[in-house]
Amino acid sequence: MKNNSSYGHILLIPTVISEDTLIQIPKGTITSIHETTHFVVERSRTARRFIKTTNPPYEISSLNIIEIDQDGLDYINTAMSWLQQGHNVGVISESGMPGIADPGSDLVIKAHSKGIKVKPLVGPSSIFLSLAASGLNGQNFCFNGYLPIKENELKSKLKQLESLIQKTRQTQIFIETPYRNDRMLKFLVKNLNPNIKLCVAKDITGDEESITTRRVSDWKNLDFQIGKIPTIFLIG
């Protein structure tokens, strides 16, 4: 299907991963933000605060902003109406790139079905930045989101991931709720094969950024605390 030129475009707008790091957002992306007045966002308050930091040429109160409703499709209908009127619609998640470990894909797939152009803008993504810096296989990888919380289920899941690593050299990437980061690290070190490589990438692009890759056997000798800081775990 050809792009429908009478409609506006979907703009996937990456936001900062860590606070006070606007320098990570390219000038071209900021220009696109300043040319956009209609937004679909994960959280309105966060999105307004982020847009304000870019020093836009308009009043924040003048923007048309609707939050993504995970349990309904009303926001998609509103966004489609804006697009039909010729407005570009920016999609903003809480941090990083929308649609990757964040909401946004439902609207994007709807836009594709109508031949509406979807344009991803340049900006940070903690998943890809941590993968690039980990030294693990970047040719074959899988993002698993959150792993199970219950220990027996988590142990079983880790065995599955280890099997994939051994058979395919596929890097396995996952995240955890920040207050459970240190629990996760201890569990990984205790239960993973000692020869598996484990990367802990915390506070990507932030002041406390730390990216460390070691064999699990070596992690046992490290006194390492993550704290309640957004972190990506990678094994391979």
Give pLDDT, residue 1.
Answer: 47
Give pLDDT, residue 6.
Answer: 85
Q: Binning pLDDT at 50, 70 and 90, where does residue 2 land?
A: low
Does residue 1 lie in a domain region? no
Residue with tokens 């809480």: 94
C-alpha–C-alpha distance, residues 82 and 15, integer Å:
22
DSSP assignment string, 188-211: HHHHS-TTSEEEEEESTTSTT-EE
Alpha-carbon Rg for the chain, nearest whole angstrom, is 20
Give the CA distances from residue 234 to residues 28, 81, 168, 223, in Å, rounded to whole numbers and listed in that order: 31, 41, 15, 19
Inter-helix orientation angle 74-84/105-113, to 10° = 50
Are residues 46 and 138 located together in one domain of the fold?
no
Are residues 113 and 134 located together in one domain of the fold?
no
CATH code of the domain in which 153 resides: 3.30.950.10
Q: Binning pLDDT at 50, 70 and 90, where does residue 235 land?
A: very high
Q: What is the pLDDT of residues 186-210, one digit of tens each?
A: 999 999 999 999 999 999 999 999 9
Does residue 3 lie in a domain region? no
Does residue 213 lie in a domain region? yes
Does residue 25 lie in a domain region? yes
Over pLDDT 70: what percentage of the chain? 97
Give pLDDT, residue 128.
Answer: 95
Q: What is the pLDDT of residues 167-187, one digit of tens each?
A: 999 999 999 999 999 999 999
Choose the final residue of a domain: 92, 120, 148.
Answer: 120
Q: What is the pLDDT of residues 136-145, one digit of tens each?
A: 999 999 999 9
Are residues 199 and 136 located together in one domain of the fold?
yes
Choose the final residue of a domain: 85, 120, 155.
Answer: 120
Residues 26-39, mean pLDDT to the nearest whole number: 97
Choose the final residue of a domain: 120, 139, 154.
Answer: 120
Give pLDDT, residue 4.
Answer: 62
Cβ neighbours, 10 Å, residue 21: 16
C-alpha–C-alpha distance, residues 122 and 140, integer Å:
22
Are residues 142 and 61 located together in one domain of the fold?
no
Does residue 202 lie in a domain region? yes
Are residues 94 and 176 located together in one domain of the fold?
no
Does residue 5 lie in a domain region? no
CATH code of the domain in which 93 resides: 3.40.1010.10
Q: Is the pLDDT of residue 77 over 50?
A: yes
Q: What is the mean pLDDT of the chain?
A: 94
Are residues 59 and 141 located together in one domain of the fold?
no
C-alpha–C-alpha distance, residues 54 and 120, integer Å:
18
Q: Domain limits at 23?
A: 10-120
Does residue 57 lie in a domain region? yes
Does residue 39 lie in a domain region? yes
Domain count, the chain: 2
C-alpha–C-alpha distance, residues 214 and 231, integer Å:
16
Are residues 52 and 140 located together in one domain of the fold?
no
